[in-house]
Chain A
Amino acid sequence: MSVRDLRGVRRHWVFMCCLLWFAFSMFPLYWVAITSFKRPVDVVGGPTYLPFVDFQPTLKAWTDLFSGIRGEFFSNFWSSTIVALSAAVIATVIGTMAAYALVRFTFRVRLLSGIAFFIVAMGGFLFGREVLGVSPGLASIVAFCIALALSIFINRYRLPGPVLGNDDIVFWFVSQRLFPPIVVAFALFLLYTEMGKLGFKMTDTYFGLTLAYVAFSLPIVIWLMRDFIASLPIDVEEAAMVDNVPTWRIFFGIVLPMSKPGLIATFVITLAFVWNEFLFALFLTNSKWQTLPILVAGQNSQRGDEWWAISAAALVAILPMILIAGLLGRMMRSGLLAGAVK
């Protein structure tokens, strides 16, 4: 027992306060769980609290849900699952690769080539659309490629102006979280629509939605994994290097297995983020790849106050996250997330 632990009467007071907060944070979840088993009359007739005591539970809402009377429930559930799992896997893998590169290697990016990218991309797009009269989709692809090629090319030369290092690149990634997603979601919707006109269907496709989620999970992944990889001992890698093991084998054979706890934590956090995400799904999907949050959000406006059915649908979105809460709670206990907050 450490000196910081609570003793005596104070311990009981704090315990009571914790119980109070527990009641506050659990009541809504309890409420949604019991409501999904209520008959309509038990909902409309005023609040009822205990199953079998003041209302008779029924499975009606759940059988309705699973029989598909209430919209394309299974389709939404599967698209949510597939998109969330694949986006979390892809983001964790490429984010970890980037984090590894940023910890173990030096990168130098000249500020001027970054600015060049910005100017050429925007100018090229406007020029193509306004002057040459190319369709916006084509103009943006061409402008993007030219800007990227040019900025990589001029980065080789000694340009005036500051040179950005690894920390700046990490900051660049992380600062994406600062941008309100609506800024990008709306522009992305327009760009995807333009791509659709060119023949690449992006809106309401698996590819389009997953790609957007990968891009928006990457900042968190890189932020978490960079600290984790930096804390790994380097001697094993050095020993492997002496034996001339190629870098990609060091990464997949040594670094990845060693960072398993960090990978799991990052994966789980990304998964929760994508599973619950609403805005991008709202903009980028309309029928086939619509995710659960969209279905859940639409329940109320479509059917009014059928709370028993709404609760069942909401619970399906909540249940997988309860498992994840258990996992995260365990990791917190082992102090695994401590490194991330430094």
Chain B
Amino acid sequence: MTREDPVKHFFLWPAVLVVLAIAIFPLIYSLANSFMSLRLVPPRPAKFVGFENYIDLISNERFWQVVQTTSLIAFTSVAFQFAIGFAIALALVKKVKGADFFRISFLLPMLVAPVAVALIAKQILNPTMGPLNQFTSLFGYTNLPYLTEANWALGSLIAVEIWQWTPFVVLLLLAGLQGMPEDVYEAAELENASPWSQFWGITFPMMLPISAAVIFIRIVESFKIMDTVFVMTGGGPGIATETLSLFAYQEGFKKFNLGYTSALSFLFLFVVLAMSMIYLAILKPYLEKYK
């Protein structure tokens, strides 16, 4: 039911005003800046340059490498998060022994500040005095370069992302699994369907819309990754683990190249939007099939 009452504006407007002023207006401001050549250090007066900043960026190899790194971290970690998270959510909904206890403890990583997680990871991954080094030395591998060699550093970052965000997948998928009707499974049980075929025939298709949403949220959020990288590797070695947010931060806060940074932020936004569109387009037929 909807009704009419002028007071409705007093309910909606505070939220709209805050978002307009603090989220939308800066966006417009930064879009305006992105067409300018604007520098604070050394100070250079604003000059309209059109799309020059954008063209500079697109032809900058570093930008494409950063996009690649970010996508690699985002897609790989989300794939693992989803697979592991689904398995855990299934175990919890099927009332594994100690499910109540596991449920609370599995949530925990998600709520730890990413900077704290990064610092803990740095201790554990320390190549000489960390516990992981001691563990791998049992197998004869000592002093592996967890954070100082490009591929190892990427792997470490992905592992940390998986550790931290699998709980989020568990949280949402568990809520979805709990809401599934019981009678479908009873019918399947009567026909002696194996658990394997029950999963692929019932659970997975019915969970598809929630799964799609969870993966979408996680990929969008993973693209924003910054705190973990900032503390763990600082983008290094070289720029091997530099992500889009970190690149923008370096350009903006270290070089104070405002026009360039604004253009970079918009390209970043564009990358995320393009990805979302492709994702939704690929998914649409499947979602409709199972509706």
Give residues in A with beta carbon < 8 Å to B.
1-6, 10-11, 14-15, 17-18, 21-22, 24-29, 31-32, 35, 43-47, 49, 94-95, 97-98, 100-102, 104-107, 117-118, 121-122, 125-126, 129-130, 140, 144, 148, 169, 173, 176-184, 186-188, 190-191, 211-212, 214-216, 218-219, 222, 234, 238, 241, 246-248, 251, 272, 275-276, 278-279, 283, 292-293, 296-297, 299-300, 305, 307, 310-311, 314, 317-318, 321-322, 324-326, 328-330, 332-333, 335, 337-338, 340-341
Contacts and interface: CB of A to CB of B under 8 A. Distances in A.
B123 A29 contact: no
Contacts of A330: 104
Nearest to A172: B19
Contact of A105 (B4, B84, B220): B4
A187 B262 contact: yes
B235 to A, nearest CB: 14
B230 interface: yes
B178 interface: yes
Contact of A317 (B116, B130, B268): B116
Contact of B113 (A5, A216, A276, A329): A276
9 smallest A-B Cβ distances: which pairs? A329-B104, A187-B26, A215-B22, A101-B11, A98-B15, A187-B30, A183-B265, A276-B113, A321-B111
Contact of A28 (B107, B124, B226): B124
Interface string B90-102: 0101111110101
B5 interface: yes
Given A29-B112, A179-B23, A183-B27, A218 B15 contact: yes
Contact of A173 (B15, B103, B210): B15
Interface stretch (B57-65, B149-157, B179-187): B179-187
Contacts of A179: 23, 27, 269, 272
Given A5-B95, A182-B224, 10 more contacts: A3-B182, A14-B94, A31-B120, A105-B8, A191-B29, A275-B113, A278-B115, A278-B226, A299-B119, A317-B115
Contact of A333 (B30, B96, B97, B103): B103
B115 to A, nearest CB: 4
A318 B88 CA distance: 24
B114 A276 contact: yes
B23 A215 contact: yes
Contacts of A297: 115, 118-119, 227, 230-231
Contact of A148 (B20, B171, B189, B272): B20
B32 to A, nearest CB: 5
A49 B131 contact: yes
Given A28-B121, A44-B129, A317 B113 contact: yes
A85 B46 CA distance: 40
Contacts of B1: 104, 234, 238
Contact of B185 (A4, A107, A337): A4
28 contacts: A3-B186, A6-B91, A11-B96, A17-B87, A17-B91, A18-B96, A18-B98, A22-B102, A22-B106, A25-B106, A25-B163, A45-B129, A47-B133, A105-B11, A117-B20, A178-B273, A179-B272, A182-B244, A183-B27, A188-B22, A190-B30, A293-B113, A293-B115, A307-B123, A314-B113, A321-B112, A328-B111, A330-B104
B41 interface: no
A214 B8 CA distance: 21
Interface string B8-46: 101110111011111101111111110000000000001
Contacts of A31: 120, 123-124, 131
Contact of A2 (B48, B130, B182, B269): B182
Interface stretch (B75-83, B245-253, B281-289): B245-253
B interface: dominant SS: helix
Contact of B262 (A25, A186, A241): A186
Contacts of A97: 11-12, 14-15
Contacts of B22: 184, 188, 211-212, 214-216
A268 to B, nearest CB: 10
Interface of B: 1-5, 7-8, 10-12, 14-16, 18-23, 25-33, 46, 48, 84, 87-88, 91, 93-98, 100, 102-109, 111-124, 126, 128-131, 133-134, 163, 166-167, 171-172, 174-176, 178-179, 182, 185-186, 189, 195, 210, 213, 220, 223-224, 226-227, 230-231, 244-245, 248-249, 252-253, 258, 261-262, 265-266, 268-269, 272-273, 276
A218 B18 CA distance: 9
A101 B48 CA distance: 43
A233 to B, nearest CB: 11
Contacts of B258: 190
A186 B18 contact: no
A297 B3 CA distance: 50
Contact of B105 (A26, A105, A186): A26
B107 A341 contact: no
Contacts of B10: 248
Contacts of A276: 111-114
B113 A101 contact: no
Contact of B178 (A94, A177, A338): A338
Contacts of B124: 27-28, 31
B253 to A, nearest CB: 8
A211 B18 contact: yes
A248 B97 CA distance: 48
A222 B15 contact: yes
Given A14-B96, A338-B175, A325 B28 contact: no
